[in-house]
Structure 1
Amino acid sequence: MADKLTFYTNPMSRGRIIRWMLEEVGQPYETVILGYGASMKGPEYLAINPMGKVPAIKHGNAVVTEGAAICAYLADVFPQANLAPANNDERARYYRWMFFAAGPIEAAANAKAMGWEAPADKQGMLGFGSMAHVLDALEFALKDTPYIAGDRFTAADVYFGSHIMWGTQFGTLEKRTVFEPYMARLHNRPAAVRARDIDDAIIAEQQKQQQQ
């Protein structure tokens, strides 16, 4: 598609996930860096995302927010990147675990980061139940497969895998043996390396400017 692709982000945000996804897609895109505060909450960006949060993309006239939705959208509109599975069994796993990351994994990790833990008799009210339930589900999802949807890498690995890598790095998810080979496969992908290098370079430049 010839429509212009614009990426709204901050290099110290969940936008790093979408940067990786864009590098996997391989299409040209423009980056708009937003600072926390005035620019992210200003009227120009609120017209893109009324939540005043990143990431977001604009593709032609289409606006997509929310990390999982952006990953799924990009995989669909750029099928030549081969990032969405074609057969139903893999497609089912693709959607299941991508949106499991957007729901239970993120909610459980945030609850832990905030020091919240529901009493046992209230866990049924929560979509994630408990952190133990989430970790057991993650282990179940990865125990017999190299990638989350099957034998090949998909957009679901970008989103699902990012949550596991960040969670284990920052201590909101317990490290389990089954995670290690999976994270290594993702971490070393050329697109993942490029994305990290781009965002890290932006952070370094911002820090340099602040010191001047």
Structure 2
Amino acid sequence: MTESLTLYTNPMSRGRIARWMLEEVGCSYDTVLLDYGTTMKGADYLAINPMGKVPAIKHGDTVVTEAAAICAYLADAFPDAGLAPPPGNAKRGPYYRWLFFGAGPVEAAATAKSLGLLAPAERAANAGYGTFDDVLKTLETAASSASPYLCGEQFTAADVYLGAQIGWGMMFGTIEKRPAFEDYYARIAERPAAKRAADLDDALMAQVQPQPQAS
């Protein structure tokens, strides 16, 4: 695809996931830096994402929001990057499974834990993630595979998204620093694209306002 591609982001956000994915894809793109509470809630950006949140990408006339959706979209839009098993491949199922396990149970459970709002044991069946312990056990199973990546020998968009969740979780204390998590994240964080993305976002930190805190 030759359409222009723009990333709307803030380096203190999940936009780092989208940046990493873009660097893995290797396509050229522009960056629009947005601040919390001001440009992120401005009319121009709300026309792109009515949620007023980042990240978002615009590829030609196509707008994609939500970090997991951006990862999945870019993997399919740029198949030559090899970041998704092709349809019909036996690895396509595990690819979807772990990508959306990260976007669903892991994201929900980690957020609930950080806010002190985990479902009580007697109501766990009502929560999409079940119990936090079950989420961590399942996540550890994925990270502990004998294969280097979630889909065997192939690094995919699922590794970008779920790997970022593991890295952030360990950094902020919502995910325990278990050996399986540390080994897996250390392996994928050494990828050249991951390092480029981190350097680009770190360089933008001085240009943004901190996220406002609730009073």
Q: Which of the five TM-score ranges fits, normalised by the shorter chain?
A: over 0.9
Q: Which has the higher mean CA deviation after the structures are superposed, 115-124 or 4-13?
A: 115-124
1:20 equivalent to 2:12? Answer no
Question: Within 1, Cα distance between the matches of 2:56 and 2:39?
Answer: 14
Task: Name the structure 2 match of 1:58.
Answer: 58
Equivalent of residue 158 in structure 2, options 156, 159, 165 = 156
Question: Within 1, Cα distance between the matches of 2:119 and 2:36?
Answer: 31
Task: Name the structure 2 match of 1:210.
Answer: none
Percent identity of the aligned residues?
Answer: 63
Pick closer, same or farther for the CA change 1:206–1:48 going to 2, 3 Å.
closer
> Residue by residue, what CA displacement relative to the aligned partner does 1:28-66 show, whole Å, maximum 9, x if unpaired?
000000000121111110000000000000000000000
Is the contact made by 2:109 and 2:118 (CA closer than 8 Å) also made in structure 1? no
Please tell me the residue identity of whatever aligns with 2:131. S
> Highest relative contact order (Cα 8 Å, sep 6+), 1 or 2?
2
Task: Name the structure 1 match of 2:142.
Answer: 141
Task: Name the structure 1 match of 2:212.
Answer: none
Task: Name the structure 1 match of 2:91.
Answer: 90
Q: How does 1:97-116 map to 2 (within 5 A)?
A: 97-116=98-117
Pick closer, same or farther for the CA change 1:110–1:206 going to 2, 3 Å.
closer
Task: Name the structure 2 match of 1:122.
Answer: 123
SS of 1:57's equivalent in the other structure is: strand
Deviation of residue 143 (structure 1)?
2.1
Task: Name the structure 2 match of 1:183.
Answer: 185
SS of 2:40's equivalent in the other structure is: coil
Count of residues in Structure 1 that have an aligned counterpart in Structure 2: 207
Deviation of residue 111 (structure 1)?
0.6
List runs of 5+ in structure 1 lacking aligned partners. Answer: 208-212
> Residue by residue, what CA displacement relative to the aligned partner does 1:61-104 show, whole Å, maximum 9, x if unpaired?
00000000000000001011111113532111110010010010
Question: Within 2, Cα distance between the matches of 1:156 and 1:163?
Answer: 11
Equivalent of residue 173 in structure 1, options 172, 175, 184 = 175
Task: Name the structure 2 match of 1:70.
Answer: 70
List runs of 5+ in structure 2 lacking aligned partners. Answer: 210-215
Please tell me the residue identity of whatever aligns with 1:147. Y
Please tell me the residue identity of whatever aligns with 1:104. P
What is the TM-score normalised by the length of structure 2? 0.93
SS of 2:170's equivalent in the other structure is: helix
Question: Within 2, Cα distance between the matches of 1:188 and 1:204?
Answer: 24
Is the contact made by 2:10 and 2:208 (CA closer than 8 Å) also made in structure 1? no
Please tell me the residue identity of whatever aligns with 2:170. T
Q: Which has the higher mean CA deviation after the structures are superposed, 145-154 or 121-130?
A: 145-154
Question: Within 2, Cα distance between the matches of 1:45 and 1:204?
Answer: 21
Q: How does 1:42-57 map to 2 (within 5 A)?
A: 42-57=42-57
Deviation of residue 125 (structure 1)?
0.2
Q: How does 1:190-205 map to 2 (within 5 A)?
A: 190-205=192-207
> Residue by residue, what CA displacement relative to the aligned partner does 1:145-189 show, whole Å, maximum 9, x if unpaired?
210111121111000100001001110111211112211111111
Question: Within 2, Cα distance between the matches of 1:48 and 1:137?
Answer: 35
Task: Name the structure 2 match of 1:5.
Answer: 5
Question: Within 1, Cα distance between the matches of 2:125 and 2:208?
Answer: 44
